[in-house]
Amino acid sequence: MRLKDKVALITGGAAGIGKTTAKVFVEQGAEVCICDVNEEAGQETAEELGCTFSKVDVSNRKAVQIMVDGVAEKFDRIDVLINNAGILRDGLFVKVKDGELVNQMTEESFDMVVSVNLKGVFNSTQAVAPYMIRQGSGSIVNASSVVGLDGNFGQTNYVATKAGVVGMTKVWARELGRYNIRVNAVAPGMILTEMLLSMPEDTLEAFKRNSPLKRLGTPEEVAKLYLFLASDEASYISGEVIRIDGGLVIGT
């Protein structure tokens, strides 16, 4: 029961890594609150796991504040924030054929990913931080990605947000450390989520071949890393970005 008596808020908790993290946290004794834009999946997850759910778009600052205030009012504290919510809108930065521009990433796609993946982390953390400061403790874990560290073809918007999350993590670790609040980031590689499983089978096989471990990661493995960083076992770890990618970059 590594999170016994702790209150944890998980954004993007309706499915994938977020749902698995919620399950692990409940099993480890936490009071878990999840939020997501997918109301149907969120309600199902809440009923399945016995946690609470709020329909929230993390890019909506006012909605995030209302949700966080509600969690704090209900439980009188917030010990853990997992900034897990994120979206993809992949596309080439520019595509040229025979010297002519034929396509490019749209401004809408760029803005949408930034609003959720970067501003959403900013909104959620800024809403939660005052409560953690007043109680004199807390652990914040942000979802970055290996592509935020190494870049990736066709993901200018996503990579920009995940690199930005790394930068914010290091700033907040410095600013909030005086209040006994730890801030870290997790950088997953290729993890078997619904999003990844929608890719062609030959693409997945290529990911496996390029991994020294010759397999993809599981949501449970990421959730357990979230658990460690959220728990008191990581009490002297702050400002870190921990890769969980099976050595993928080494193998490419």
Longest dimension (CA), the chain: 63
Q: Find, among 86, 188, 115, 196, the residue nearest to 147 by Cα.
A: 188
Residues 226, 82: contact at Cβ < 8 Å? Answer: yes
CB within 8 Å of 252: residues ≥ 6 apart: 210
Is 158 marked active-site? yes
Query: SS3 breakdown of the chain: % helix, strand, coil, rounded to 5?
Result: 50, 20, 30
Partnered with residue 185 across adjacent β-strands are 142, 241
Active-site entry in 158, 179, 226, 236: 158
For 44, phi then psi, to 5°, come to: -65, -45
Catalytic residues: 158
